[in-house]
Amino acid sequence: MRTILYPLLLICAACMPVAKFRLCPNMHTDLTKRLYNDIVTELIEQRFYNAYLPEEDQKVFNKHYLEVDHSVATAADRKWHQQQSVRFQNKLFGDTTQFQTFYLNISPAKDLLDLADLPDQFTKLRPQSAVATLITELAPSMPQAALDSLNHVQSLMLPSEFQLCTARLVPTIGTRQRDNETKTLTLSKVVFSSARDQAILTFSWYCGPRCGFGEVLLVEQVAGRWQIKQAVQAWIS
């Protein structure tokens, strides 16, 4: 019996589903707002240095990486990090008492650390650069108009309209203060492909005087949800 049971256990273990991030319901019917909601959720939960997690969960990551004796993450490190990230996201999901507060900047004012710090003219982009390629592929007939949108802060979607399950967004007015650790997100307008199943946008993430970055994102719609397909880093602080 034991010789039969052991292979069966191995087969069942191999068939067990991999734990995944819980999907927050997105009830928006407007395509652009659906995109913003999905992408902001992904940014907060997977790209902003775990800043959305309660302090005790962040300490688990910090402790682990202080104890490892190598400078480059291994496959085992990445697997461990993914497992912990999923576990903590699932635990936090819907627990509003544990939500961290993030600020959404919808002011049209632009400075060097807003959005992706792109040039004002498309001709100033290097022709073979990743950003120029993305714009040309998605908006071949209007590259300048697309760039203008990527340089323009979105004001279509207010913080109160985001349907988030692991963090809260509140508005910030005017230029953010850089002498504190206010976590501020700024999003650009969206440039859709002709089929409207892909899009590009930019964002900036500010998390302190020497903490933050800006990126250009290529996103795509998969099974009704928007996901980040490619991220091009524009600046980092």
Rounded to whole angstroms, the Cα distance separating 20 from 207 reads 26
Q: Is the pLDDT of residue 107 over 60?
A: yes
Q: Encode pLDDT of 22-33 as tens digits.
A: 999 999 999 999
Query: pTM for this one?
Result: 0.88
Q: Is the pLDDT of residue 174 over 60?
A: no
Kindly tell me the burial class for residue 183, based on how many C-beta atoms sit within 10 Å of its own C-beta (0-12, 13-18, 19 or more).
Answer: buried
Q: Is the pLDDT of residue 95 over 50?
A: yes
pLDDT in the model for residue 195: 96
Closest CA to 222 of 52, 92, 38: 38
Q: Is the pLDDT of residue 4 over 50?
A: no
pLDDT in the model for residue 114: 73
- Residue identified by tokens 């988030």 is 164
Rounded to whole angstroms, the Cα distance separating 216 from 222 reads 19
Q: Encode pLDDT of 121-162 as tens digits.
A: 999 999 999 999 999 999 999 999 999 999 999 999 999 999
Helix (H, G, I), strand (E, B) or coil at 184: strand
Rounded to whole angstroms, the Cα distance separating 123 from 18 reads 46
Is the alpha carbon torsion for 176, 179, 182, 184 positive or negative? positive
Taking CA atoms, 178 is separated from 97, 120, 209, 212, in Å, by 27, 24, 5, 11
Cβ neighbours of 178 (radius 10 Å): 15
User: DSSP string covering 94-128, please?
Assistant: T-GGGPEEEEEE------TTSTT---SSGGGS-TT
Q: Is the pLDDT of residue 94 over 70?
A: yes
The answer to whether the beta carbons of residues 188 and 156 sit under 8 Å apart is: no
Q: What's the DSSP call for residue 185? A: E
- The encoded tokens of residue 24 equal 């927050």
Q: Is the pLDDT of residue 36 over 50?
A: yes
Q: Which segments within the chain are labelled E, that is strand?
A: 100-105, 167-172, 184-187, 191-192, 198-208, 211-222, 225-236
Rounded to whole angstroms, the Cα distance separating 131 from 2 reads 59
- Residue identified by tokens 């990230």 is 85
The answer to whether the beta carbons of residues 150 and 201 sit under 8 Å apart is: yes
Rounded to whole angstroms, the Cα distance separating 51 from 83 reads 17
